[in-house]
Structure 1
């Protein structure tokens, strides 16, 4: 039986059911649903999913503070997230500037992107279709839902594991686009490795969320990694 967190009422059956359903939906969403969504509708569909998820979270009793969306914590979120953003920006700038490190950034999917395509990615698709949706879903709603029914460490662990599984399909797409491996067993190992890495990254993002009390902190780190990573990949290709 789940023990109640001090100062919080014991988890109800509805709370447990919501957390379990959410895990199932998120495991399937990026691996089963998104591949069937037209690319032109990616931002719209994920944006709508974000709204539905927030409404469901509020219906089950999660507060804006529980979700990391309290205005009182915005300053803390901006502080922690701003430092994380700067660290990622510096690391990517060094990688682009050092020829030996540039191959680490190359991605065939970024090789032929025109300036307009890059702008669309970093200003619209990534911030609204990826970062907003994933941060609300994982470090916002899922983490908050799990914290009602599990101790903090286990809640973070489950959130991180689901975030790793979330990346199975994108990893397979990246491997295929870059023609990295041929054999099924090496492809499986590569996917497993990336999923473990993203699970660890998910745990770090959850820690930022809990430490700052704001969803803004992990969102800024996630935004820096994805948007500046895209710009760095394009620059690495251009510079050879």
Structure 2
């Protein structure tokens, strides 16, 4: 993968600095593991844990010497990020519309967690998902972890590692996915005892692939705003198009 002009060019760091960067990366990974567990142990904790965790991670990154540009939050890349975000939202929206209208793929949108009245769906799409999910995950994986990795790794390694960890981040949410989502449940029903493992592995691979696409948007635009747009579209538009899917079902 070629280096984008939007991202600062990585140069070989002296050994002490490289060790310092590796330690910083390890601290971020351990913090993400703790946040992931806490998010699933604390009832309704994501709405405050997400923003607090994001601020803590950004504070650590800045104290470690990362610039706003290295974190994908530079002002001069905001316009580029917004343009890429708009393109991602439009693309996801068209794909979801086709998915809802086709009977064979409609069941993927029938998630009981989001079988909501219109006000509840709007609240989920425009408040709960952005605040409780996207803020923390984008700051964690496409900003802080990305910036930490880029200090001592090539860009393809940054995209690969951040994407794989993003996939593993979704192991705990996948434990009950088959029960809540009709499409996933139907696909897993014929697998017998292996169904649980298949859902977990499938979720990790699917979200890791999504993380790679989000990472490429971040790389090309030089801004986390691009991956934020894609992330919001993937999650929130799923809820909104789910309204239509439930009506058609």
Displacement after TM superposition at 1:38 (Å): 1.9
Tell me which residue corresponds to 1:238: 247
Gaps of 5+ in 2: 1-8
**Partners of 1:26 and 1:162 in 2: CA distance:** 9
Which of 122, 127, 142 is matched with 1:124 structurally? 127
Q: CA RMSD in A?
A: 1.8
Displacement after TM superposition at 1:104 (Å): 2.7
- Does 1:192 find its partner at 2:201? yes
Tell me which residue corresponds to 2:39: 34
Alignment length (residue pairs) = 233
**Partners of 1:6 and 1:210 in 2: CA distance:** 13
Tell me which residue corresponds to 2:63: 59
The 8 Å contact of residues 34 and 42 in structure 1, kept in 2 or not, is answered as yes
Tell me which residue corresponds to 2:50: 46
**Partners of 1:175 and 1:21 in 2: CA distance:** 33
Change (3 A) 1:202 1:34: same
- The superposition leaves residues 188-214 of structure 1 with CA deviations (integer Å, 9 ceiling, x where unpaired) of 022101101111111111111111001
Displacement after TM superposition at 1:165 (Å): 0.4
Gaps of 5+ in 1: none
The 8 Å contact of residues 27 and 165 in structure 1, kept in 2 or not, is answered as no
- The superposition leaves residues 131-159 of structure 1 with CA deviations (integer Å, 9 ceiling, x where unpaired) of 11111110000011011121211121111
Tell me which residue corresponds to 2:22: 16
The 8 Å contact of residues 108 and 181 in structure 2, kept in 1 or not, is answered as no
Which of 183, 208, 218 is matched with 1:209 structurally? 218
**Partners of 1:28 and 1:189 in 2: CA distance:** 25
Describe the SS at the equivalent of 1:101. Answer: helix
**Partners of 1:6 and 1:150 in 2: CA distance:** 8
Describe the SS at the equivalent of 2:176. Answer: helix
Which of 147, 153, 173 is matched with 2:150 structurally? 147
TM-score (norm. length: structure 1): 0.90
The 8 Å contact of residues 26 and 162 in structure 1, kept in 2 or not, is answered as no
**Partners of 1:116 and 1:84 in 2: CA distance:** 25
Change (3 A) 1:234 1:6: closer
Worse overlay, 80-89 or 21-30: 21-30
Which of 83, 89, 106 is matched with 2:87 structurally? 83
**Partners of 2:148 and 2:122 in 1: CA distance:** 35
**Partners of 2:43 and 2:108 in 1: CA distance:** 30
